Structure 1
């Protein structure tokens, strides 16, 4: 979640959740740039595929599960708040295919949050052949 005016503490209260990370408007980045907005985020980290889940959506599912207390609350955030799920996965397909299971899509829809996804392709060609 990013906001220009709403303080991260207010977001925690409105969503009934605690964030993994908060970056406050006005703080300096390593580059020296100054944040022009607040950031309130939840992160579940990187999770590899398992034998039971080859879809690459395990981390996304954990994020949605962890965000469940915010269901029905995201819509009450002030207008300056922008909420997005940022998700990325690795694909073993040369075309970058992946599957979002219908039940997971439904849970994301219940949250009322847009998902921005990026799929990284696995390079099948060894590095020495590309040279």
Structure 2
């Protein structure tokens, strides 16, 4: 391979993220905040513009309430799960009531420059997630293709 075609691969960098998402067609994001007594990191109301700077953009079909773990993206996924459980653990009864009209999801993200990595989510931690009535979503992000030339 010619020298001008060689590309250095970046060092192995992994990142992780964790968010609790509540979505609803009938319960507003502000009502979710009031009922849980928690201010989310992000919230969007049903009918609001997907892109507020573009008045022609689509409108949201659901209200969305999003609470992040608050941890750095170099933590293990288990750390994000534990932090999120801790943030909403006192809201079990209200989460159960909201589940009648909301989708409740614990969303985890994982990415790595070389595509390698993973984690074990212990059974007792998954039991805690289930006890809160949260579905678990795992988003995996593949490495970027090397750029040549």
Aligned residues: 123
User: Residues 9, 127 of structure 1: CA spacing in aligned structure 2 closer, same or farther, 3 A cutoff?
Assistant: closer
Q: Which residue of 2 aligns with 1:11?
A: 32
State which structure, 1 or 2, has the greater radius of gyration over its C-alpha atoms. 2
Matches within 5 A, 1:93-112: 97-112=118-133
Separation of aligned partners in 1, 2:124 and 2:140 = 20
Q: Which residue of 1 aligns with 2:97?
A: 76
Matches within 5 A, 1:27-106: 27-30=48-51, 32-45=57-70, 46-49=72-75, 55-77=76-98, 79-90=100-111, 97-106=118-127
Shift of 1:13: 2.9
Separation of aligned partners in 1, 2:69 and 2:46 = 23
Separation of aligned partners in 2, 1:94 and 1:40 = 30
Can you give the 5+ residue segments of structure 2 that lack an aligned partner in the other structure?
Answer: 1-21
Can you give the 5+ residue segments of structure 1 that lack an aligned partner in the other structure?
Answer: 50-54
Structure 1 length normalisation: TM-score?
0.73
Q: Is the 8 A contact 1:88 1:120 kept in 2?
A: yes
Structure 2 length normalisation: TM-score?
0.66
Separation of aligned partners in 2, 1:74 and 1:11 = 9
Q: Which residue of 2 aligns with 1:52?
A: none
Deviates more, 1:17-26 or 1:76-85: 76-85
Shift of 1:78: 6.2
User: Residues 78, 114 of structure 1: CA spacing in aligned structure 2 closer, same or farther, 3 A cutoff?
Assistant: closer
Q: Is the 8 A contact 2:99 2:133 kept in 1?
A: no
Shift of 1:104: 1.5
Q: Which residue of 2 aligns with 1:127?
A: 146
Q: How far does the alpha carbon of each residue in 1:16-59 deviate from its partner, in whole angstroms, 9 at most, with x for none?
A: 3222211011111226111121111101255213xxxxx53222
Q: What is the Cα-based RMSD across aligned positions, in Å?
A: 2.8
